[in-house]
């Protein structure tokens, strides 16, 4: 199975964590979406990561990929068995992808990293402040009502909904955000518990190699860290604007 997309993307991390839970090997072309060539656009019509390639199957969108993984490799399910619980897990996945994605990625990570580094633009400080002061506290209040005091959402083993939620907090940490454990104790403990699981911890050295190096040295640093890189890359040197960019 081949994954296209950077180790630092929360949606790529979600897919990799699900592959890890299922014990499935992968190869990766760890590009950022703004540096994808024509072939990337053919495979990912919205110029977004992750993309999964398996034989002649091409899938984009992390939720579609994870649903396919669970259908095709059912041995260690990512979703609970009961229909009502499955539906709740899907809701929390959708909520994370949409709302936490908007806050952590577009409100913080994109503002602090991508705008200055990729586009040479200033961070929108008003948006960052609104995300930190209004957006995230509102969602942490909601998560505090949803998350369990111990274990994971649907039992003692980590599943798709846990992974989908927790992945965004790793990106939060990259921009200096930590959950205030005095105000949101369940959420803070859940995030620490989930991110300490092997399915997240296993990729940390690759994320650090990706973050610590510039594009020129990145491939070498990832190989040195043991990342299973593809022989070919769909990466380019010149960035291109996304299709759905704000
Ligand atoms: N709903 C998609 C969202 C994927 C997504 O937004 N990925 C970001 C990287 S973290 C991306 O490719 N952004 C580029 C863009 O939107 O132009 C999924 O779950 O895979």
The model's confidence at residue 4, banded by pLDDT at 50, 70 and 90, is very high
Cβ-based neighbour number of residue 221 at 10 Å? 17
Summarize pLDDT for 148-202 with one digit per residue, the tens: 999 999 999 999 999 999 999 999 999 999 999 999 999 999 999 999 999 999 9
Is the Cβ–Cβ distance between 242 and 44 less than 8 Å? Answer: no
Q: How far is the CA of 176 from the centre of ligand 1 (A)?
A: 21
Summarize pLDDT for 91-112 with one digit per residue, the tens: 999 999 999 999 999 999 999 9
Consecutive H or E run containing 68: helix 62-72
Whether the full predicted model's pTM is greater than 0.95, yes or no, is: yes
List all residues whose CB is within 6 A of at least one atom of ligand 1. Answer: 9-11, 33, 47-50, 61-63, 97, 105, 242, 244-245
The strand ranges marked E within the chain are 2-4, 27-29, 51-54, 57-60
Residue nearest to atom 2 of ligand 1 (CA): 61
49 in the Ramachandran plot: left (φ > 0), alpha (ψ -120 to 50) or beta?
A: beta
Q: How would you classify the pairing of strands 2-4 and 27-29?
A: parallel
Domains present along the chain, CATH in parentheses: 2-77+201-225 (3.40.30.10), 83-199 (1.20.1050.10)
Check whether 245 has a pLDDT greater than 80.
no
Q: How far is the CA of 221 from the centre of ligand 1 (A)?
A: 24
Ligand 1 atom closest to 241 (CA): 17
Check whether 246 has a pLDDT greater than 60.
no
Summarize pLDDT for 200-244 with one digit per residue, the tens: 999 999 999 999 988 888 999 999 999 999 999 999 988 998 888
Summarize pLDDT for 36-46 with one digit per residue, the tens: 999 999 999 99
Which residues sit opposite 3 in a β-bridge? 28, 52
From 3, 5, 11, 168, the mutation candidate for ligand 1 (largest count of ligand atoms within 8 A of CB) is: 11
H-assigned helices in 133-202: 136-146, 160-174, 185-196, 198-201
């Amino acid at each position: 199975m081949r994954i296209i997309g950077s180790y630092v993307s929360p949606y790529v991390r979600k897919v990799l964590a699900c592959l890890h839970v299922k014990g499935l090997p992968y190869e990766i072309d760890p590009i950022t979406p703004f540096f994808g060539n024509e072939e990337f656009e053919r495979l990912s019509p919205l110029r977004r990561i992750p993309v999964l390639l398996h034989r002649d199957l091409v899938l984009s969108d992390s939720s579609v990929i994870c649903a396919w993984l669970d259908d095709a490799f059912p041995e260690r399910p990512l979703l609970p068995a009961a229909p009502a619980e499955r539906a709740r897990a899907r809701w929390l996945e959708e909520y994370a992808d949409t709302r936490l994605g908007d806050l952590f990625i577009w409100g913080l990570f994109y503002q602090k990293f991508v705008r200055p580094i990729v586009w040479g633009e200033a961070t929108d400080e008003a948006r960052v402040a609104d995300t930190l002061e209004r957006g995230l506290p509102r969602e942490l209040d909601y998560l505090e009502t949803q998350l369990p005091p111990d274990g994971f959402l649907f039992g003692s083993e980590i599943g798709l909904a846990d992974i989908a939620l927790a992945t965004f907090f790793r990106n939060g940490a990259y921009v200096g955000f930590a959950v205030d454990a005095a105000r949101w104790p369940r959420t803070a403990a859940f995030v620490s518990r989930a991110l300490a699981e092997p399915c997240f911890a296993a990729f940390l050295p690759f994320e650090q190699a990706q973050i610590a190096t510039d594009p020129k040295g990145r491939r070498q640093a990832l190989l040195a860290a043991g990342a299973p890189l593809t022989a070919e890359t769909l990466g380019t040197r010149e960035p291109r604007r996304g299709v759905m960019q704000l």
